[in-house]
Amino acid sequence: MIYYEKPIIGISASMIYEEKDELFLGDKYSCAAYSYIDAVYKSWGIPITLPILKDVSAIREQVKLLDGLILSGGRDVDPHFYGEEPLEKLEAIFPERDVHEIALIKAAVDLKKPIFAICRGMQILNVACGGTLYQDISYAPGEHIKHYQIGSPYQATHTIKIDKNSILFKMADKMEIERVNSFHHQALKQVAKGLKVVATAPDGIIEAVEAENEDGTFILGVQFHPEMMFDKSTFARGIFKRFINICIESRPAEVILKEETHHTEEHKKKNIDEKIKEIENEEKKEFFKGDL
């Protein structure tokens, strides 16, 4: 008999600076929102955060440790990386993080590690692959719905239309229309070669992309925040669970399949879906309070 090892999922980190405590004034802290960590763990993955590095060879070593990569949300992408000058409505940028994540993406594609890019993550993914961004949604043609909501992060506020031929459609339990949360003022402009649009908002703003070649590295980018909706939305949970399964399926056979000699009899009998369901049931009373 065989079992599946939990996959190691790397989450790209940001950096914050100590501004109040005089003793540690100016100290830098690597950080990632706990909602990413929680969503990965509850989906049967092992989350680790990836601190910002400058050494490309070290960044590649970061990726070698992983079974999958999540690109998290954050500040605006520096327009320098897609050949534009900063426009009036550009907000705070973090070029050091851009450099790190572009290197993460290139290494993940080269090493065939699945990529799940969220919000800013989808934007830097598009830029890393040769695409461009609207520095503010107001620069995109047409009239727009509200894309930066006010209220609870888990609250779904606008609809998206999902391509029926996409992997995201399967993750949505074959629902063409879903409601999502929204916390962005930038958006994809020219979609990079190798990516395809698989979901849009009612105003045409791109809400999700996937890799064009389904036989290559798995790539999914979403403009919304499923990690924030995880405890309230079956759609959000479905995305994370499917990503974790893809990370397991993408590993070399010698990593996926191992002897069961050091696992308990109870663990031996459970497949991936059963284990996920068990975790859900254990935490349901505390965390799950009904889907929106």
Q: Could you read off the pLDDT tens digit of each residue along the chain, which spans 292 residues? A: 444 589 999 999 998 877 776 667 678 889 999 999 999 999 999 999 999 999 999 999 999 999 999 999 999 999 999 999 999 999 999 999 999 999 999 999 999 999 999 999 999 999 999 999 999 999 999 999 999 999 899 999 999 999 999 999 999 988 899 999 999 999 999 999 999 999 999 999 999 999 998 778 999 999 999 999 999 999 999 999 999 999 999 987 655 454 344 444 445 445 566 666 666 666 555 544 444 4
- DSSP secondary structure of 116-153: EEETHHHHHHHHHTT--EESSGGGSSS-----B--S-T
Distance separating alpha carbons of residues 129 and 248, to the nearest angstrom: 25
CA distance 102 to 227: 22
Active site residue 227: yes
Which member of 147, 158, 184, 225 is catalytic? Answer: 225
What domains are defined for the chain? Answer: 8-288 (3.40.50.880)
| Spatial contact of 100 and 40, defined as CB atoms under 8 Å apart | no
279 contacts 44 by C-beta, under 8 angstroms: yes
Q: Which of 100, 101, 119, 147 is catalytic?
A: 119
Decide if 247 is catalytic. no
User: Which candidate in 101, 207, 210, 227 is catalytic?
Assistant: 227
Q: Is 22 a catalytic residue?
A: no
